[in-house]
Amino acid sequence: MRRLPSFFSLRAFEAAARLGSFRRAGEELHQTPSAISHQVRSLESWFDRPLFVRQTRRVTLTAEGQRLLDRLTPAFDCIEEACAELRAPEQKLELAVHCAPSFAAKWLSPRLAHFMQAHPGITIRMSSSAEPADLQRVEDIDLDIAYGLPPAQPGVVVEALGREITMPMCSPRLIDGRGPIAPADLAQFTWIESPLNPVQWADWCALNGLKLTDRARPSFDRGSLAIAAAADGLGIALETTRFAQGELARGELVVLDGPGFRRIEREMHFLCYRKAERDSREIAAFREWLGAEMAADARGD
């Protein structure tokens, strides 16, 4: 019969010793710090000697504790290797995401690292084009994030990704030294067009009681390009603030807003996937993550 202390106490000790913290050991083992501390004290009682020197914010090993860790580490390594040899290999999952180019560049790509950290077993394959994907015909795309409401397709679920605010925005240099600006004052400036945008200058003018001027307007076929042109001082872009979060935060752009301005709020982006694949692990994970990111955006986190 083997004379051994509790395996759970040994595991708690090894984690706390390796990480130098009862709190971090609890996080790794999904237990509370007090539970880890209780198991370590139980082990110390079994040995009838202290294994840790407890300090306010950290713990350090005694000489006996270090000697025990030196022997336990290779033993736990052997146990882990033996279990890994018998365990079925983890299934590698891939998720093919098709996305509108500006949404991919300005919103999705900067956040994808969060998804990859949360779901290391899922590999993302990204593709991009202005046209929405035909999920009935293109089998190697799992999810599509479309700009503008896509055509209805049997068996395809379409979910709006929240209402977006579209506002005039420009470089602060363009209006430097001017006093308060009213909607009518925008006619003095160059207006930048983005022809693929579901919201056009004609919509904004109609909402704000203005007549659309016939002045020439430089045109960019991507919202991201229109935003870059505005940040460079070329003129005023009419774009969703979702695309311009970085430029607005860095002060490269300012929104033209005030008591006389009326904003346009619309659902602009839509998540599409096949209804039959709704509950697949990778699609469910991406939908949950995307919803959480959108909610954080809405809160301003």
Q: Note whether residue 196 is domain-resident.
A: yes
Last residue of some domain: 69, 86, 103?
86
Within 10 A of 89 (CB to CB), how many other CB atoms are there? 6
Q: Note whether residue 258 is domain-resident.
A: yes
pLDDT score recorded for residue 223: 86
250: left (phi over 0), alpha (psi -120 to 50) or beta: alpha
Last residue of some domain: 27, 52, 86?
86
The per-residue pLDDT for range 201-239, each reduced to its tens digit, is 999 999 998 888 887 888 888 888 999 999 999 999 999
pLDDT score recorded for residue 113: 87
Q: How many domains would you assign to the chain?
A: 3
Do 107 and 55 fall within a single domain?
Answer: no
Strand residues in 149-300 grouped as ranges (E): 156-160, 163-170, 191-192, 236-240, 254-255, 264-267, 269-274
| Residue whose token pair is 């603030």 | 241
- Predicted TM-score (pTM) of the model is 0.65
Q: Note whether residue 1 is domain-resident.
A: no
Last residue of some domain: 55, 86, 117?
86
Do 25 and 145 fall within a single domain?
Answer: no
Do 142 and 101 fall within a single domain?
Answer: yes
- Is the model's pLDDT at 58 over the cut of 80? no
What residues make up the domain containing 181?
163-266
The per-residue pLDDT for range 103-155, each reduced to its tens digit, is 898 898 888 888 888 888 889 999 988 888 888 888 889 999 998 888 888 89
Domain containing 73 — which CATH number? 1.10.10.10
The per-residue pLDDT for range 265-296, each reduced to its tens digit, is 999 899 999 998 888 889 999 999 998 888 88
Q: Note whether residue 2 is domain-resident.
A: no
SS3 content of the chain, % helix, strand, coil (to 5): 45, 20, 35
Do 172 and 236 fall within a single domain?
Answer: yes
pLDDT score recorded for residue 159: 93
